[in-house]
Structure 1
Amino acid sequence: MDGSESRLIRSGTPEFRRTTVALAAAGFSTFAVLYSVQPLLPIFSEDFGVSPAESSLALSLPCALLAVALLVVSPLSEVFGRKPVMLASLFASAALTIVAALMPGWHGFLALRALAGLAASGLPAVAMAYLSEEMDTRAIGLSMGLLVGGNALGGMTGRLIAGVFADHAPWRLGIGVIGALALLAALAFWRALPPARNFTAHPMRWREVPATFGQHFRDAGLPWLFAEPFLLMGGFVCIYNYIGFRLLEPPFSLSQTAIGAIFVVYLAGTASSTVTGEIASRLGRRRVLWLAITTGLVGILMTLSDNLLVVIGGIVVVTVGFFGAHSVASSWVGRRALRDRAQASSIYLCLYYLGSSVLGTAGGWAFAHGGWPGVVAFVGGLYGIALAIALRLARLAPLPQAGP
């Protein structure tokens, strides 16, 4: 065992537990801040007098700015270090969320939401790079799954708190509570995350940055892996963006609290990401990715039912499939990119959040013109393309250093 291998974090060790707790808290904070507004889109549409597609800007705009900022923040972490960049991101996004809750006008609220998304960009790609550098090969799948699970838990909790507050108190109070929880998560991250042992800071030559990004597009597999989050996240966000509009209307006529409670199914995403990540580490990512996407596609079709239990079951299946596929694809990027992993991770997540922004808002056009069947047709098409890409990736020859 050489020196670099002895510094890697192995599963079951105290360092592994500290790292996974810290990054799960960070993922919780980021996704709670970003997605807490999702069940509130019908309320924004009514309170601010905007269309469903315009109300989705409260989610799409911060995701778009986050996506673009990832391409800049990731190289910065090569200079200032992984933990300092992630820590600044967590504290800034939490503070901006609290301020946004106090903003009375629609455009001011959107501006602060956009800034919170910009601040949140320091966490996602850098966390993936940290795990790729610090974790033992046999621990990377589980640790990435736990990170994605923290994302799922944060998304669920943020949506649930916002939905309950919307029925029983001013919705702004719910957003403020989420900002306070995000601050607590940032403190937990600060105390728990071990310092990097396999990272060396170096000056960034900005003229070389385009080349470091470009090299990943010359790989036979990475460009296809980068396409997956755009399609999968875009479709997944469409389901969650507009299902609230459908469930408020007959034959369901649910309350905001009941709609918020449906987001408890994110617990299924937490379990799915961890379990699927572990299975993929054992059986190979190429054997698991297409199955996870197919699972999501089945769930999408189930939401066409007029039976509430079947619709909720469909949302559960979509959530399981999406988080499983995301866990597999994100860890695959970390293993396939043999150099400049932070940049590879930032490309992946840039497209992930662009899918959330661009396709999430485009789904509003499908909803306006075709109702819920229009959303299902739109999202089903996205997942069909993602499935075709996954089947292509299943035939891809692995790199000897990267594993299956």
Structure 2
Amino acid sequence: MAAMLDLTQTGSIARIAARTSRYRRILLVLAAGGLANFAVVYFPQPLLPQLASAFAVPPGATGLALSVATAAMLVGLVVAAPVSDRIGRVPAMGASLVLAGLFCAAGALAPTWEVFLLLRAGAGLTLAVLPAVALAYLRDVVHDDAQLEANSIYISGTALGGAVGRLAPLPLAAVGGWQLVTVVLGALSVVVGVLVWMLLPRDGADPKPLRAGDVLGGAVSSLRDPVILALCIIGGLSMAVFVGLYNAIPFRLDAPPFSLGAAEVLVYLAYPLGIAAPAVFRRVATRRGRGAATLLGLGGLLAATALLIAPSVITIFVGLGLLTFAFLGTHSILSGWVVERAHDVGRSTARASSAYLLVYYLGSTLSGAASTQLWQGGGWTAVIMLAATAGIVASALCLIVRRRSPRR
């Protein structure tokens, strides 16, 4: 009966039930926001060799195109939750996408590498808001029975954004250079930002005052809970595996024995294989618990790392597909787990989500910069060792959390 109602009431905020028109609209718009957000973050990855040539910088430095954006996101995540609590989550998410799109499109006019990196940092700073508050927004507006499903659909949208960010750049660059890529994806972000502002219902929460203590310590305070801290570290390490391998793979595919050039886009067709991962991992978590689902994902990351050792295009395709599937499934479980844990222990869900993403993007920032440097200095073996170490540490930590946390 509850599933047939459009709204259920919890406290002073109307909670939207599953399988209703408002529920589907929320998920569609938020998934589109995640798509635009992650496309803008990750589009430089397949273009790193082209950016090295265009700006005359060494390959080891090109990882900064991704790392400066994720480093700026770390700063944005510190203020994202308190700012969104002050002005409202929906306006904050919409403005985030619009501003990020403008920074992205302006990158096409960058005269130097330094200016391009500055614009990437601006995009990263503003992009922090949507991922920081999206799951907390869903936690407040969607009925409890639909939480896992709603989270997995939103993460699938971010996965599709990652796919667009890796598949679209090379064909677009073949038509109009890397500059066309920045303009197209920037425009996409602006349009989706306007749709978020216009179509998403407000969560009904009262505005909160913006205090310096909240800005400086709101997200970090969530890490005082040992379970939240451990889950955040696991998320950061899994992100380090994912970004490190994806950052270095374009250089490996450009180098002998592959020398694929523009044909490397065919390998990135493995990425969409991961879009179904959140739904699959949601079912595993429902039946076996979140700990088991996370361990399954981390095992998949290690298996994918092993597959990517082989000098075979087919093996690399399979390895990237498994890597993407395992990572997106793991991330969908961890991000929802952190929010649920924060709710259970009486902490701010938005700040806990920000804390998770702080550590998550710290892993991306460090691994993104380190992987291209390792490639330049030690080749593919050094990159593989970085990924394997991060995956093993994350798996060990997950075993500890699973033993100490009740199955839900």
- Indicate which of 285, 310, 315 corresponds to 1:310: 315
- Indicate which of 33, 36, 42 corresponds to 1:29: 36
Letter paired with 1:251: P
Are 2:247 and 1:241 aligned?
Answer: yes
Structure 1 contact 9–135 (Cα < 8 Å) conserved: yes
The 5-angstrom pairing of residues 172-321 of structure 1 reads 172-197=179-204, 199-207=205-213, 212-213=218-219, 215-256=221-262, 258-321=263-326
Letter paired with 2:77: L
The 5-angstrom pairing of residues 247-396 of structure 1 reads 247-256=253-262, 258-338=263-343, 339-396=347-404
Deviation (angstroms), 1:54: 0.8
Are 2:47 and 1:40 aligned?
Answer: yes
Structure 2 contact 271–320 (Cα < 8 Å) conserved: no
In 2, Cα distance between equivalents of 1:43 and 1:64? 22
In 2, Cα distance between equivalents of 1:207 and 1:154? 34
Structure 2 contact 82–214 (Cα < 8 Å) conserved: no
Provide the residue aligned with 2:5 in structure 1.
none
CA RMSD of aligned residues (A): 1.9
Are 2:67 and 1:53 aligned?
Answer: no
In 2, Cα distance between equivalents of 1:47 and 1:3? 56
Question: Percent same amino acid among aligned pairs?
Answer: 36
Deviation (angstroms), 1:329: 0.3
Moved more, 183-192 or 350-359: 183-192
Deviation (angstroms), 1:364: 2.0
Q: Secondary structure at the match of 1:8?
A: strand
Q: Secondary structure at the match of 2:405?
A: coil
Structure 1 contact 28–185 (Cα < 8 Å) conserved: no
Structure 2 contact 90–196 (Cα < 8 Å) conserved: no
Structure 1's unaligned 5+ residue stretches are none
- Indicate which of 147, 155, 165 corresponds to 1:148: 155
Letter paired with 1:133: D
Provide the residue aligned with 1:136 in structure 2.
143
In 2, Cα distance between equivalents of 1:286 and 1:38? 31
In 2, Cα distance between equivalents of 1:148 and 1:91? 20
Deviation (angstroms), 1:86: 0.5
TM-score (norm 1): 0.94
Q: 1:42 to 1:214 in 2, by over 3 A?
A: closer
Structure 2's unaligned 5+ residue stretches are 3-7
Provide the residue aligned with 2:113 in structure 1.
106
Q: Secondary structure at the match of 1:7?
A: strand
Provide the residue aligned with 2:74 in structure 1.
67
Structure 1 contact 145–278 (Cα < 8 Å) conserved: no
Structure 1 contact 146–270 (Cα < 8 Å) conserved: no
Q: 1:213 to 1:190 in 2, by over 3 A?
A: closer
Deviation (angstroms), 1:11: 2.0
Q: 1:112 to 1:211 in 2, by over 3 A?
A: closer
Aligned residues: 398
In 2, Cα distance between equivalents of 1:116 and 1:348? 20
Letter paired with 1:192: L
Letter paired with 2:317: I
Q: 1:92 to 1:278 in 2, by over 3 A?
A: farther
Q: Secondary structure at the match of 1:221?
A: helix
Structure 1 contact 18–194 (Cα < 8 Å) conserved: no
In 2, Cα distance between equivalents of 1:251 and 1:359? 25
Q: Secondary structure at the match of 2:295?
A: helix
Letter paired with 2:143: D
Deviation (angstroms), 1:188: 2.9
In 1, Cα distance between equivalents of 2:159 and 2:9? 35
